[in-house]
A and B are shown apart, each in its own frame.
Chain A
Amino acid sequence: MKLWDCFSTALQALLRNKLRSILTMLGILIGVAAVISVLSLGSAQAAIVEESFATLGANLIYVTPPELGISGVGAQTTLTLEDAQAIARHATFVDMVAPSVQTYAQVVAGGESLSNMIVAGVTPEAEAVDNYVVAQGSFITESDYRAKSRVAVLGSEVAKTLFGEMDAIGQSIRIGGRQFQVIGVLESRGAVFGLEDMRVYVPLSTFYTTLAASQAGSRGNSVNTISVRAKSSDVLEPARQEIIDILRNLHNLREGEGNDFRVISVASVAEQLTQVLGIIQYILAGIAGISLLVGGIGIMNIMLVSVTERIREIGLRKAVGAKRRDILVQFLIEAATLSLCGGAVGVGLGWIIVKIMSAIATNAGFPFTATLPIYAIALAAGVSIFIGLISGLYPAVRAARLDPIESLRHE
């Protein structure tokens, strides 16, 4: 039997009972739409993570107290300014070092008062190392640092909240009760580490003389974080090792004693995060895939009903010369066509869902571009056909094996 006739016969059979065909397709349709949505969102997520970490810098290594994460504030720290200077001087794989210390303080300006704001004391190097992009004015300079000037750089959200549309540069601002002058406003840092838009930056030297009193005590010139820029992304591991060695030495740690600090490379955090997101994505896709299984069962069910309904027809076809293979192929193609149609519409539906979600997310401040990876479409098509063939196999074999005489006698 010619292939075209197979398709034509199968299609006619499906069109004859449109409602039934549509309902049967739904399982595959929803399954494919779900899988497509999950995979598209997954790849968008991966892109966001990559973009956000790119903002921070690929060569970045953070040295922090053992307990806290990257925005560590106020806990016990064993890190000092001397540690930072030692790293800058002795680590050969290190390019630049930017220590910083943080505390909470009240920030008042232009009639607005913000309590419990994170205020960070930073060095001029921080602009390069931590990749702070200045939108207006300038960052803290060498001379500001040396002079211990009372100047401040504001995060984008802080500036907006305190000064609105007004130019913040040159304005007066009270931090922790002391008077400072705004010399710069930063660009927004993006969604993932968005906390940074709410920070205020002052020179580290100034911090020690004005705000350090409110710091939880440690020795002398404590710092919370040391940002370190490695010479290149290839030497991240050796750089990290050097830092650990230098600090262990400085902190007089013996063999076998654990580190009283942590050294984290941003790249490895990004990698871990991507890995975790990847696993989550595949788990979700797997769960969505279960609905594909259910869809396949639905197809098998309907095909069995269809075969039973058409027993006489099958008997007649055999009587006029249909071979077993002809009947088998006819029903297999019917099942595969059902499945493929469901899959095709499912891809379309998945795409619409992704577009809607991306519009909602963008409006909520999490811009993400909806992409429909080609591999997802090919996967959907392949899986649809596969499920159709597998689900249709048992009913098709049953149909092919029917005895023509018995079948012709059937109701």
Chain B
Amino acid sequence: MIELENITKVYKAGQTEVPALRGISCRIESGEMVSIIGPSGSGKSTIMNIIGCLDKPTSGKYRLDGIEIDKLNDNQLAEIRNKKIGFVFQSFNLLPRVTSLANVELPLIYSGVSNRRQKALQVLEAVGLGHRVTHKPSELAGGEQQRVAIARALVNNPSLILADEPTGNLDTKTSQEIMLIFKKLNEQGMTIVLVTHEPDIAAHTQRTIKLRDGQIEVSVRRGSW
């Protein structure tokens, strides 16, 4: 359901052009859990932004669930982000002065949905934080904050979860807990794309796409899934 055809991305840094992606082509099927790994500057953040509809490629085609993303305008992209994609960031990116419940409700405000409170409570329960809904992020541990972020990503029932170094700010034990949540979600059918530079995190996924210098170096499948 994610189809990338010869995606390139070129940034202009003053007078010089910086090619961040030099022709990425791949398919990610519905229900897959894929990790994208690579050293600094390999283009993994760039490809993540493109898959997440936060950025448009310089050339190439991107189809998400059959929709040609490169043909959409800004407002349409915003709608896709709202309804089809759930983001999880390394630094959580929660609204700091607002409760967990309000944080999770945020995407629902922009989708114009009624019954927000109930839906938000449901997903918070699902990630095991039903008892922390009125807490503000400053009152939560790192792992709990990330779980709130995951709940927020899930609340609008997306097709795809995009996680950018989700365990980067967490200790080993908490990282394992978070990865377990992702695996559980994947078992329930959620497509998950994870960007990381840590091989042990990547080892949790079915397939790992290795990037180097803006191109796919290799795509590795793991057995026994």
Contacts and interface: CB of A to CB of B under 8 A. Distances in A.
Interface of A: 1-2, 5, 9, 12, 16, 312-313, 315-326, 404-405, 408
B78 A408 contact: no
A319 B87 CA distance: 8
Interface on chain B toward A: helix, strand, loop, or mixed SS?
A: helix
Tier of interface size on chain B: 20 to 34
B215 interface: no
Contacts of B52: 319
A78 B173 CA distance: 112
Contacts of B57: none
B109 A1 contact: yes
Interface stretch (B89-97, B175-183, B200-208, B217-225): B89-97
Interface of B: 49, 52, 54-55, 74-75, 78-79, 81-83, 87, 89, 93, 95, 97-98, 106-107, 109-112, 152, 156
Contacts of A320: 81-82, 87, 106-107, 110, 152
A323 B112 contact: no
Contacts of A404: 54
A322 to B, nearest CB: 5
A321 B55 contact: no
Contacts of B78: 318, 321-324
A326 B93 contact: no
Contacts of B152: 320
Contacts of A1: 109-110, 112
Given A320-B87, A320-B110, A321-B107, A408 B93 contact: yes
Given A16-B97, A405-B54, A323 B75 contact: yes
Contacts of B75: 323-325
Given A319-B87, A408-B89, A408-B93, 13 more contacts: A2-B109, A5-B109, A16-B97, A316-B93, A317-B106, A320-B106, A320-B152, A321-B79, A322-B78, A323-B75, A323-B78, A323-B110, A326-B110
Given A404-B54, A405-B55, A408-B89, A321 B97 contact: no
Q: For chain A, what secondary structure do more than half of its interface residues adopt (helix, strand, loop), or is it mixed?
A: helix
A321 B98 CA distance: 18
A323 B107 CA distance: 11
B74 A323 contact: yes
Contacts of B93: 312, 315-316, 319, 408
B110 A322 contact: yes
Contacts of A12: 98
B74 A321 contact: no
Contacts of A313: 95
17 contacts: A1-B112, A2-B109, A5-B109, A16-B97, A316-B93, A316-B106, A318-B78, A319-B93, A320-B81, A320-B107, A320-B152, A321-B79, A321-B107, A322-B110, A323-B74, A323-B75, A323-B78
A309 to B, nearest CB: 11
Contacts of B74: 323-324
Contacts of A315: 93
Most buried by B among A9, A315, A323: A323
B110 A321 contact: yes
Interface centre among A312, A324, A326, A404 (most CB of B within 10 A): A404
A404 B152 CA distance: 17
Contacts of A318: 78, 81
Contacts of B87: 319-320
Contact of B49 (A2, A316, A323, A405): A405
A232 B110 CA distance: 71
A333 to B, nearest CB: 14
A321 B111 contact: yes
Contacts of B54: 319, 404-405
Nearest to A2: B112
B105 to A, nearest CB: 10
A320 B149 CA distance: 11
A321 B112 contact: no
A321 B81 contact: yes
B93 to A, nearest CB: 5
A319 B110 contact: no
Contacts of A321: 78-79, 81-83, 107, 110-111, 156
A237 B186 CA distance: 96
B188 to A, nearest CB: 21
Nearest to B109: A5
Contacts of B110: 1, 317, 320-323, 326
Contacts of B49: 405
B43 to A, nearest CB: 14
Nearest to B105: A5
B94 to A, nearest CB: 8
A319 B77 CA distance: 10
Nearest to A321: B82
A325 B110 CA distance: 11
Contacts of B95: 313, 316
Contacts of A319: 52, 54, 81, 87, 93
A14 to B, nearest CB: 12
A319 B112 CA distance: 16
Closest 6 pairs (CB-CB, A-B): A321-B82, A321-B110, A320-B107, A323-B78, A316-B93, A321-B81
Nearest to B81: A321
A312 B107 CA distance: 16
B215 to A, nearest CB: 21
A404 B110 CA distance: 16
B20 to A, nearest CB: 12
Contacts of A316: 93, 95, 106
A16 B54 CA distance: 29
Nearest to A318: B78
Contacts of B106: 316-317, 320
